[in-house]
Each structure stands twice: as structure tokens, then as C-alpha cells.
Structure 1
Amino acid sequence: MKWLNFTRLHPSTFILLGIPGMEFAHFWIAFPFCFIYVLVLLGNLLILLIVKMEVSLHDPMHFFLCMLAVTDLTLPSSFVPKMLAHFWFQSRAILFEVCLLQMFFIHSFTAIESGVLVAMAFDRYVAICFPLRYVSILTHSTIGKVMFLVAIRAVFLTMPIPLLLVQQTFCEYNIIAHSYCEHMAVVKLVCGDATTNAYYGFVVALMGAGTDLVLIALSYFLILRSVLRLPTNEARFKSFCTCGSHLCAILLFYVPALFSFIAHRFGHHVALHIHIVLANSYLLLPPLLNPLIYGVKTQQIRKRVRIMFCRKKV
């Protein structure tokens, strides 16, 4: 393949700074990050286990929830272990290839999470607007195709990011002012014109999260229109409750992402450590809180958790 035959100058390793300006506190900052990561693993594994055990949860909504849980397990695992090694053991170096791989995983699984939230919004739309056709529309085959399309779209959107960076020439300065290989933080190390890389990152955000937000807003507009036509307040309230957990998950994912995106590209006067804390919270908070949100809002999950813990006590 001739298109792979290029010679570019890039460092063999990058050096991650972690949270610049807070190096003195890295050792202690790692403890809450580690605690959050453990809770992420336990919470999402528990969701997967409960859905597998509880036959009444084998429906489209909870299949999408399982895909969300798998994404929430993989996304933090792509950067938190390396970050903890840096903060606790001063393992700051990361190979160039590993850095690009980490970048690919972070951005692709972020895109997958966004796509799953769109799929869940469509699920709520069908459940409320076409309740009698719910099972016939969202068949196992349809769910499988939706999940496949979400994953393929994420890969195709994200793959050019590391490929474009591989073709760039980097300066001798190989220090990344971040706690992981964030795309724009690496682009800043490029010598020469990196406009294509920066613009493509913007295009990915626009085509990914931007398009997904429009689709989610459209789904909930149609849901709201359908709910307001229901004859009784009780029916309206019940319909809104079925969407409550998903709306919380949407806000939890997109609000920190929006703040991080704006701060990184336009907040030039915002302190660097604020940028990085926002970026970390955007990747860690949804995986941490999604199991709690769906666990609290889903009666079958609450019931199964109580049964599991009561057995352990006995």
C-alpha cells in the first residue's frame, strides 16, 4: 500500500505532564481518581450482571443500556491506569504509537457513547409513540444492526485522527500538557501547518456529537408532542418518568463535553489545570453516574441489587 510509505519525523515517546501546575498534588489526586475508577468498574459490571440474570430486563432498552455499560467500562480503562501509573510511580513516558492508540480509543468510545444515547432516545420514542408496535419494530436483529452502525460510525469518524497525526512532522519538544493523549494537546506539538488536524477534530465533534444532539432533540420533541396528547395527567406523568433516567444520562454526558470543548478551543484565558480537570470529568463522570441513574430509576434493577446484597448478609 503506497499510501503508507511515508517518512515523517516524530518522537519515539511523549512525556505526559498530568495536571500542569498541580504536580505537587499528583500523588494525592490519584486516590480519588482510583476510587472513581473502581466504582466505575463495579457499577457497570453490576449492571451487565443484573441484566443478564433478570429475564424481565431482556428488552431493547436494557440491551442498549448494556452497550452503554460496556462503553463506560472501556472508555476510562483506556487512560486511567496510565494516569495512575504517572501520578503514583512517575511513569510519565508513553510510546508514540501507544499515544495514538489511546487517542483513538478515547475518541472512538466517546463517539460510541454518544451514538448509544441516540439509540436510547429512539427506543423511548418508539416505546411512547408506538407502544403496540414496540416489540415488532425493535427486534433483536434491528438492535444488532443499530449497535453495529454505532460502532462502525465511531471507527470511521475517529480513525483519520491518528492517521493524520502520523503523517505530520513533530518538533523536538515532546511534552504533552495533559494527563492523557488528548487530540488537540498532541496537535500543538506539530511543527508546521496542523490546520487539517485541527479542522478535522472540529468536524468530528460536529458530525458526531452535534448530529446526535439534533437527533436526540428531534426524538424528544416528538415524544413531548405525543405525551401532551395523552388524556390524563397520570398517563403523562408515567410517560415522562420512563424518559427521566435517559434525560439525566444525556445531560450528564453532553454538558461536561460542551464545557470541555468550548474551554479547550475558545477559553484561552482559562487556567490549563481547569481545562484538564474538565476533560477528565467529561470522561469519568458519565461512566460513574450512569449505573446509579439507571439503578435508581429501574425497579427491577433495584430489586435485584437488594436480593443480591441480602443473600450476602445471610
Structure 2
Amino acid sequence: MMDNVSVITMFTLSGLSGTTNYRVTLFALTLLCYCVIWLINVTITVTIIVDKNLHEPMYIFLCNLCINGLYGTAGFYPKFLSDLLSPTHVISYAGCLVQGFVLHSSAGADFSILVLMAYDRYVAICRPLVYHSVMTKEKIGMFVFFAWLVPIYLVLMGTITTSIPRLCGSHIPKIYCINYLIGKLACSASVASIVIPAFNYTFYFLHVVFIVWSYMCLIRKCIFSSENRSKFMQTCLPHLLCLIIVVVSLLFDLLYMRFGSEKLPEGVQNFMAIEFLIIPPIINPLIYGLKLTQIRNRIIQFLCARHKL
């Protein structure tokens, strides 16, 4: 394999070599999955945008969570669908960096938005008297802005450091690109390529710590109040379920990527690799759409109005 970075313009992706006999079926299922992701997330997003009664912090954050689901999956599904119909599975060097950037920044934005949702519930239940002064439109706009800006900036720095070292290979043992695997192809590791990912992992681990702390406060506050327990079950439980789904899905892939065995069947490896691109984008909006009464009622009203027409 060529080992000069100036001539490595394409990467080969593995993972689909054993799918020759059922690629059409897999393509149909993948396309169906992607259509469901679009349908569910767009439905929730449009419902929140159109209905002014839903222009509250929790729903605004949920809207951004759904938009981020569309953003992250757009970095994977179109390319994957194309690969299923192609005899060769390659991606350009620039395309690989872009795909890694989109997937990483989407995962980071997921955690940032989930932190905002946890903070919103903490203030609403634990400090209700100052809720409207803390969660103003200006502050919500600032929170959302930084929830997108920070992960994009952090991942961009990681992508830049990944693109600098000379590469000694062009084969990526996965069905999509991420910075970690591109970095493993480098002939030598730089300090930045070690420090920046370590900082990013620590930064988002602290996100999880904050959410856990906020829920400890919420549970302590709600346990003796029936009204607060009702609020917790209605708005906090969906958020907690979404957090668990996101964390477990990402850890599943991250731990396997670093410590997994190549002896596992290829299909199992592929499922572990794309679990966070299937389950959270579908389950998260479904949980909120079914659990939050205002969103559920608004969608039902719209469907009933369309049926009458």
C-alpha cells in the first residue's frame, strides 16, 4: 500500500465483503430505516416550529436534538447506501475527514443538548421561582448556539490534527470513517493527536457527570412531592431514557473499536459500529413524541385534520 501522504487520496472501507448475497435486502432495510429517521425527526421538528405553544425551552432543545439526529445520520446513510450498490467501497481522503467530522460533532452535540435539557429540568423543578429569569429567550438562544459551536470547534481541531501527519496506509477496517481510525494510519503519532482526543473525551465525560448530578438533585427534590414526581415522570423520564440510549450506544461502539475482537462475525461488528446511528435517532424522538402530551396531541390533531380533508 502506498505510504506517502501526497499520493494517498482514497481510503478503502471494509465491512461489506460478506454481504454480496443479500445487499439488495440490506439496501432496502437501510433505506427504510433512514426514511423512518427522517419522518420521525422532521415530524417532531416541524410540530415544534409551527406550534407557538411549544416554543418553550424544553421543546426548543428537543427540536435541536432532532435536527442533530438528521445532521449526524446524513454523514453516514447516503454513503452507506451507495456502497451497498457498489462493487468497490472507497472514499476520498477529504470525504473521509468530512464524514468523521460530521459523526464526531453530531455525537458531541447530542451530549451538549442533553446537558441543556437536564439543566432546564433542574431549574424548573429545583428552582422554580427563578426559572423564567434564568431561561429567557436570549439565554436559550445563547445556550443553543454554544451547544452547536463547542462540539463543532472541538471536533474541527481534532480533524485538523488528524489530517496533518503523514499516512502509512489507506485501509480503514470499518464501514465508515472516524478520526480515530484515520489517526491509526499515521506513520507516527503527534502530541496533539493524543492530547486533543483525550481532552474531548474528558470534556464529554464531564457532561455525563453533570447530568447524573442534576438527576440526583431532581430525584431528591421529587421524592417527597407528588406534584414534582408527576413533573419528573412527564418530562425528566424521557430525557433520562434518551441519555441512557445515547451513552450506551456510543460506549458500545467506542469500547468495541478500541478493545473489540476481530473474531466476531462481520455482521455483529457492523451492527455494533452503526448502533448509535440507528437506535438514538429513531427512539429518542419516539420517546418524546409518545410521552410529552402537548407534542402527541398536536401531531394527532394534525393527522385528524388531514384525514378529514
After superposition, where does 1:171-186 map in structure 2 within 5 Å? 171=168, 173-186=169-182
Indicate the residue corresponding to 1:287 in structure 2: 281
Deviation at 1:11, TM superposition (A): 0.9
For residues 128 and 110 of structure 1, do their structure 2 counterparts lie closer, same or farther at Cα, with a shift above 3 Å needed? same
Secondary structure of the corresponding residue to residue 212 of structure 1: helix
Residue 197 (structure 1) aligned to one of 193, 197, 201: 193
Aligned residue type for 1:70: I
Deviation at 1:194, TM superposition (A): 6.3
Distance 2:157 2:228 in 1: 47
Indicate the residue corresponding to 2:59 in structure 1: 62
The answer on whether the counterparts of 2:238 and 2:291 sit within 8 Å (CA) in structure 1 is: yes
Aligned residues: 304
Deviations 1:28-48 (A, max 9, x none): 222222111111111111111
For residues 234 and 163 of structure 1, do their structure 2 counterparts lie closer, same or farther at Cα, with a shift above 3 Å needed? closer
Secondary structure of the corresponding residue to residue 94 of structure 1: strand
Deviations 1:115-144 (A, max 9, x none): 000000001101111223222210111111
Indicate the residue corresponding to 2:236 in structure 1: 243
> Is 1:267 matched up with 2:257?
no
For residues 36 and 194 of structure 1, do their structure 2 counterparts lie closer, same or farther at Cα, with a shift above 3 Å needed? farther
Indicate the residue corresponding to 2:215 in structure 1: 220
> Is 1:16 matched up with 2:13?
yes
Q: What TM-score comes out, normalization by structure 1 length? A: 0.89
> Is 1:50 matched up with 2:44?
no
Deviations 1:193-216 (A, max 9, x none): 4675356434322222x1110010
The answer on whether the counterparts of 1:18 and 1:180 sit within 8 Å (CA) in structure 2 is: no
Indicate the residue corresponding to 1:3 in structure 2: none
Secondary structure of the corresponding residue to residue 14 of structure 1: strand
The answer on whether the counterparts of 2:11 and 2:172 sit within 8 Å (CA) in structure 1 is: yes
The answer on whether the counterparts of 2:37 and 2:70 sit within 8 Å (CA) in structure 1 is: yes
Indicate the residue corresponding to 2:97 in structure 1: 100
Aligned residue type for 1:82: K
Unpaired runs of 5+ residues, structure 1, are 1-6
The answer on whether the counterparts of 1:20 and 1:178 sit within 8 Å (CA) in structure 2 is: no
Aligned residue type for 2:214: S
Q: What TM-score comes out, normalization by structure 2 length? A: 0.90
Indicate the residue corresponding to 2:292 in structure 1: 298
Indicate the residue corresponding to 1:310 in structure 2: 304
Distance 2:21 2:190 in 1: 33
Report % sequence identity: 29
Unpaired runs of 5+ residues, structure 2, are none
Secondary structure of the corresponding residue to residue 159 of structure 1: helix
Deviations 1:138-161 (A, max 9, x none): 011111111122222102221122
